[in-house]
Amino acid sequence: MHHFQYRNGRLYCEDVPVEHIAQEAGTPCYIYSHATLHHHFTVFDGAFSQLPHLTCYSVKANSNLAILKLFGSLGGGVDIVSGGELFRARQAGIPPDRIVYSGVGKTREEIDYALSEDILMFNIESSQELEAISQRAVALGRRARIALRVNPDVDPKTHPYITTGMEKNKFGVAMDEALESYRRAAELPSVDVVGVDCHIGSQLTEVQPFVDALRRLRALIDRLAELGLETRYLDLGGGLGITYDREQPPHPTEYARAIVRELQGLNCTVIFEPGRVIVGNAGILLTRVLYTKKTPKKQFVIVDAGMNDLIRPSLYGSYHHIQPVVSEDRPTETVDVVGPICESGDFLARERALPQVQPGEYLAVMSAGAYGFTMASNYNSRPKAAEVLVHGDTFHVIRLRETWEDLVRAERIPEFLQ
């Protein structure tokens, strides 16, 4: 469900014509629907109301402060993977006891920052990281609450680049090594073992891989109990998919039913880390047609948004539905929708049937709320797009469009070159 709909042939976000946003905020521009964000979060969180749980939104999906503030106001926490994401979360007012820190490459500075903030827990990805966190906690006179990220070797049946729970992936501790790792953690100074963590991948469209992973985790939790280690938190990660094209992912309530059934008799707080399922279909990338071009082999629609704005099609071969902002009867043609970046891999769609468009028209790239702006870059020295949040019949610029001056603001020419 989302709040991007046509009215009298014109695309609206909630009660605001998308054309109006384009005229005021320019293009390319990310547009998010407050009503959709609010609805998706509350539906997901509410599906687990019968369990002690904490919904920790995955910041990497979309890290804008306004969006973090919204989810925090709804009682949510966050899952972070860097010191920068921790800084964003705290700037947005997320309490430390609702923050979990994942990621395979936490630096000393990031560990110290998280310890000083007294976050809920670290999800540990390796034995060396465990030792490093213990050492920093001792040095700072802090206690580090930790869970081990256990790799259950479950195939999530998704794109290989976003698979994280198999033995060949870089993430987590292997299941057959987990027990010994927990024994070691329990012996380390300034470390409190409080939970078990698992995340098997992203854009999952079936429930069964989640169930398979959970069953393996329960067996581990039983073994930990025999060692006298209580599991206060079970972090099941995120990964529930959305519809980009023809996918039919389970609804959060279906996912919740399966998880709740498997958790019967387990006395702990369950942490979930949804990202894409909350924000993916709550946002679009708005772009303007610059030119159309026909060659003996292809027809191209050249737009002002490129792979630096939305890299998913180039990086993953991902599908995003593209539609004109003004809908009217017109012939359809098969085109490549491409951007201005100096790369043959710069495309938003290939061999796509689209209504004929003319320069100056606007196109909406749908389902762009997750891993759109957060993966954007300044490649080709292109300023990053503006971000806009629509609330009812008003819209608010929640990130200013970068300027050319912004591109060089942090750069310095040494004296010997002047």
The reply to whether 316 sits in an annotated binding site is: yes
Alpha helices in 150-285 (DSSP H): 175-187, 208-226, 252-262, 276-279
How far is residue 355's CA from residue 329's CA, in Å, rounded to a whole number? Answer: 8
Residue 319 is labelled as binding a ligand: no
72 marked as part of a ligand binding site: no
Q: Please answer whether residues 59 and 87 qualify as being in contact, where contact means their C-beta atoms are separated by less than 8 angstroms.
A: no
Asked about 342 being catalytic, the answer comes back as yes
The kind and range of the H/E element at 386 are strand 386-391
Q: Is 180 marked as a binding-site residue?
A: no
Instruction: Give the strand pairing for 283-294 and 362-365.
Output: antiparallel
| The residue type at 162 | I
CA pair distance 140, 115, nearest whole angstrom: 8
CA distance 306 to 124: 36
Report the C-alpha gap between 216 and 150 in whole angstroms.
Answer: 10
User: Was 110 annotated as part of a binding site?
Assistant: no
- CA atoms within 13 Å, Cβ hemisphere of 405: 0
> Does 233 belong to an annotated binding site?
no
275 labeled part of a ligand binding site: yes
How far is it, in rounded angstroms, from Cα 50 to Cα 212?
22
Do residues 80 and 102 touch, judged by C-beta distance below 8 A? Answer: yes
Q: Find the catalytic residue in 56, 198, 268, 342.
A: 342
Q: Looking up tokens 């800084």, which residue turns up?
A: 87
Please report, in range form, the residues annotated as the binding site for substrate: 276, 312, 316, 343, 371
Among all residues, which ones are annotated catalytic? 342
Please report, in range form, the residues annotated as the binding site: 239, 273-276, 312, 316, 343, 371
Please report, in range form, the residues annotated as the binding site for pyridoxal 5'-phosphate: 239, 273-276, 371
